Structure 1
């Protein structure tokens, strides 16, 4: 076996170790996945773009007619106009694909956004993500010609359900309030943020997330640009060990 083949075989079998990615606030670090192709709908959509917030597990989904950089950039621009851009986005797409998406965002929408390619093993380990993907596939199977019109109910259920890693719903961590399911608003219990902070301080490892509560009054100041009262934690992804 030549040296090149030996190196390739070695790299394929090397072990991987956790690489901490510090996430301090909602919408700071995102994961981007493209799923499909699915049966073409009446709107000519064949793929789904999923954008997941590492901090809250909030998910945005956008049906795509094409799996190309321009279509992805257009969908991201719509999302960013609602929530703002993030510090970084990890995706399984190639460097060329990421650079094209960033170029379209800058030239067409004047949005400066970095996308970073990552191996599938480097993505955030969240079991609930597989549940969401399965739910979308079920919708596709049941509504083959109009699955793109039925994504919102699936997303709503996912966003308002308690996440197994954080023990809170993505909706609550994203907006710091409980979701209203009817015209009658019911207030949540007092001191809920104290409960959230207590959970983060416990440093429990759940679903490859190492939680690390950090007190920093400067970063929680009004001018810091971060959500006040939100704890800092470390999300874990994987990197190759030489």
Structure 2
């Protein structure tokens, strides 16, 4: 008797059913979608999400307090132990179809804040979409990724993984899909959205583990506008520009890991300049 293949939930886009009416514009265009995935699909992903220890072992990164561990799409797809539901999910969310969904929502806002984008890139809907770590900029214009991310347990003292900053200017969009554990009783780890206090401000750079620069800003130059709670099955997504200031609130001491999926679209060259 042949055993039936294991059933798994159908992949649903994180943007399924999201419309322009869902866009919030204060302090910059973004969406916050609660219960973004059907429960069956969310549960299947949550149950089989890798831990910081699993990722750290495979990328050769030791476990330290409140550090970030990334398991990118190509790593998920090349890992025979990862659940098929994860492979299906990252394949769709790093695809041309998902990029089109992003544009359906945010193209007007993106161009309003980056009017030179089409002059530099050409029509946004004509960009050749590839996947990060599989394709390159010789044959593609934007490289997508859907990354499983863990912030490790917070030990020693409470801390914020990262304060106010703007994502790297060569990224077209950012997305965070939170997958908080039900037993996670820590406080903090929420997403804080900011605006500039004045036009006079200055970013400082620090090297990332990928060899490029991060752009952070001293808290004295910004003020909090709103906080998006770190809650399970919650999506936050936004086009990236110099107004898209955000950070992570201080997380209490905890043995629980902070879990989310990061959605990105990388360009070869930056679309704006944060040097003022």
Scaled by the length of structure 1, what TM-score is found?
0.23
When you count helix as a share of all residues, which structure comes out higher? Answer: 1
Output the TM-score relative to the length of structure 2. Answer: 0.21
Normalized per residue, which structure has more strand? 2
